Amino acid sequence: MFDPTPRAGTRLPSWLGRVAGALPNRCAVCQAGGSGPEARLCGDCLACFAPLRPRCERCALQLPAAATVCGRCVREPPPWTHAVAACDYGYPWDGLLGALKFEAAIDLAPVLALQLARAVEARALPPIDVLLPVPLAPLRLRERGYNQALLLAQPLARRFGLRVAVDALQRPVETPHQVALPREQRVANVRGAFLLDRAAVATLRGRHVAVVDDVMTTGATIGEVTRVLHGAGVASVQAWVVARTPP
């Protein structure tokens, strides 16, 4: 299984970090000037649009501060154990994630991943062993040229000292976009769309994994991925997403 992610302790040359930190940059939301990669989302915009909010531990929907699990997850627990989201899928995050996904704004991936990392750090989550980015089907990957979920997973791996199993999860079936589909059709749309690489089955058996994606709407995609992982003997699955679509 090919895995290009640097292991914990791998560092860029110090001079390269200093150069990157000194380069001018602009906030992608308000266009305020700054320097360094983190200036792509300035502190004022983060304070305004990305406050950490109480969320359901199972599906990451916003909750009143006194609650930990929403009523739906009490009645119908999802197959994954925990879900983390950095923000709701609304302004400005819908535009930023759309730019990352469809406009090749790959410079946004590190700062979006940083917001997800902070949301993960704010939770007392069970430890995991490996990150699995939700894959694209081959045709869509060729058209886009990159997988946005992988671009998000790589900075997370470096921050937490984890491994990204890049090729373990595959999506051989090209499915229609989920955007316009109701929940029931989303589940049917992704049924059978994912599989595990044969060599990865033994590697992941008994492991605890986090599935990384840009957005969770109904949870159909991560639910199907979780079904495949559990079928291969994965011990537990968490869902880590940048944005959660409100109900």
pLDDT (tens digit per residue) in 104-125: 999 999 999 999 999 999 999 9
Global pTM value = 0.85
Q: What is the 3-state secondary structure (H, E, C) of 53-111?
A: CCECCCCCCECCCCCCCCHHHHHCCCCCCEEEEEEECCCCHHHHHHHHHHCCCHHHHHH
Angstrom CA distances, 130 to 56, 120, 124, 161, 221, stand at 23, 14, 17, 10, 19
Residue 244, pLDDT above cutoff 80? yes
Give me the mean pLDDT over the 238-243 stretch: 98
Backbone region of residue 161 per phi and psi (left: phi > 0; alpha: psi in -120 to 50; beta: other values): left
Contact predicate 205/236, CB 8 Å: no
The burial class, CB within 10 Å (0-12 / 13-18 / 19+), for 238 is buried
pLDDT, position 173? 79
Contacts of 199 (CB under 8 A, 6+ apart): 1
Angstrom CA distances, 84 to 9, 16, 224, stand at 25, 32, 17
Domain boundaries, the chain: 14-49, 52-244
Structure token pair of residue 116? 């997800």
- Neighbour tally for 160: CB within 10 Å: 15
Question: Is 50 strand, coil or helix?
Answer: coil
Q: If you search the block for the tokens 């501060």, which residue do you land on?
A: 65
Cα–Cα distance for residue pair 103/29, rounded to 1 Å:
16
The burial class, CB within 10 Å (0-12 / 13-18 / 19+), for 162 is buried
Cα–Cα distance for residue pair 201/106, rounded to 1 Å:
30
> Does the 52-244 domain belong in CATH 3.40.50?
yes
Least confident span in 22-31, 151-160, 213-222 = 22-31
The DSSP 8-state label assigned to residue 37 in this structure reads G
pLDDT, position 3? 36
Confidence of residue 231 (pLDDT cuts 50, 70, 90): very high
Give me the mean pLDDT over the 145-157 stretch: 97
pLDDT, position 175? 67
Confidence of residue 38 (pLDDT cuts 50, 70, 90): confident
Structure token pair of residue 63? 């909750």
